[in-house]
Structure 1
Amino acid sequence: MVKVGTYFAMTLGAFIFWQSMDKLHVWIALHQDEKNERLEKEAEIRRVREELLRQQANQRDSLA
């Protein structure tokens, strides 16, 4: 009876561990995706800002 109880407890513990690791991996992957999206948005904003500054500089040069 002890062997059966131990087997059941170990099986349940392994299942819980497996599920928690699976949820942890999903959580990590989601946060990495969010971080990558944020970095891409920031890079796009910098690129657009630099382009606008270049256009403004060209307009000032052409007016002067």
Structure 2
Amino acid sequence: MVRVATYFAMTLGAFIFWQSMDKVHVWIALHQDEKKERLEREMEVKRVREELLRQQAQQKDSLA
């Protein structure tokens, strides 16, 4: 009976471990996606800012 209980407990423990590892993997993947999207947005903002500064510089040069 002890062997059956031990086997059941080990099986249950392994199942819980794999389920938790799956959730950890999903959590890590989501955070990596969020980080990638944030970096892409920051690069887009930087590109637009540089373009606006370039346009302002061209307008100043044309006025001078």
Which ranges in structure 1 are unaligned for 5 or more consecutive residues? none
User: How many Å separate the matches in 2 of 1:8 and 1:37?
Assistant: 44
- Which residue in 1 is equivalent to 2:52? 52
Q: Which runs of 5+ in 2 are unaligned?
A: none
Distance 2:62 2:6 in 1: 83
Q: Deviations over 1:13-33 (max 9, x none)?
A: 000000000000000000000
How many residue pairs get aligned? The number is 64
> CA RMSD for the aligned pairs?
0.3
Q: Percent identity?
A: 84
What is residue 39 of structure 2 aligned with on the other side? 39
Q: Segments of 4+ in structure 1 off by > 4 A?
A: none
Amino acid aligned to 1:5: A
